[in-house]
Amino acid sequence: MEIRSGVELPAHREDIVLHTSDGLDLVGELAVPLSAPPAATLVCLHPLPTGGGFMDSHVIRKAAARLPALADLAVLRFNFRGVTSPRGRSQGAFGEGISERHDLEAAMAFVSERELPGPWLLGWSFGTEVALAHGLAYSLVGAILLSPPLKRVSANQIAAWSGSGKRVVAIIPEFDDYLRPDEARERFAVLPETEIVPIAGGKHLWVGEEQTRKVLTEIVRAANPSALPLPTEWVE
């Protein structure tokens, strides 16, 4: 079977609810490998809610559908406050990336409670800003940033990651709408440890199977490189 857009590979999938310290319930899903303990964990932070971002935004959905089976990764995804998806609606209202710090706190508490190994924040667009602004406080391997716009984070917030021992991998589309590779190198200069990964032909939304495979490959290269190359076919 060719692995393409709608394919969901075998994994143990569990509907979950995260409880925030300011009293909200957030809906989500945890997907873990069937045949082995996870090598690492992706905590997925989705794109801008007011722009249609949710836990099923396609790269995050495909990461959950494929990477537990292909790369032995646990994938935790959830709707930020006020966001609705087929899984349901998270309580609350959009917080401009500020009150979402409570959502990240709840996700990281869940990771700790379940003893999920090697957590990485996997942010996409708005989710990268939540990761950079609020993620430094947690025990992480690092943060993987897909199409970071860097609109809601300051140079000081980025620089604060320097010397933390946490990896920052910024995956930058060649034709991004907000931040292209040359500008990304300038903006991340305050954090010299940043691993800038330019993706030829890439665009902000990573539309199409070719772009999806490129970005999933770079995610796995960071979180569990021994699983590369990712197969393009699945044998039952």
Q: What is the pLDDT of residues 184-225, one digit of tens each?
A: 999 999 999 999 999 999 999 999 999 999 999 999 999 999
Evaluate whether residue 58 is within a structural domain. yes
Evaluate whether residue 45 is within a structural domain. yes
pLDDT of residue 151: 95
Q: What 3-state class would DSSP assign to 13? A: strand
pLDDT of residue 236: 78
Evaluate whether residue 103 is within a structural domain. yes
pLDDT of residue 198: 98
Backbone angles phi, psi at 174, to 5 degrees: -55, -40
Evaluate whether residue 7 is within a structural domain. no
Evaluate whether residue 72 is within a structural domain. yes
Residues of the chain with pLDDT under 50: none
Evaluate whether residue 232 is within a structural domain. no
pLDDT of residue 79: 98
CATH at 216: 3.40.50.1820
pLDDT of residue 35: 87
Q: What range defines the domain where residue 19 resides?
A: 12-227
User: What does the alpha-carbon distance between residue 47 and residue 90 come to, in Å, rounded to a whole number?
Assistant: 15
Is 58 exposed, middle or buried (CB count within 10 Å of its CB: 0-12, 13-18, 19+)? middle
Evaluate whether residue 234 is within a structural domain. no
Give the count of domains, the chain. 1
Q: What 3-state class would DSSP assign to 155? A: helix
Evaluate whether residue 17 is within a structural domain. yes
For residues 65, 116, 54, 179, the Cα torsion angle rounded to the nearest 10 degrees is -100
Check the CA dihedral 106-206-142-33 and report its sign: positive
- The residues facing 143 across adjacent strands are 121, 168
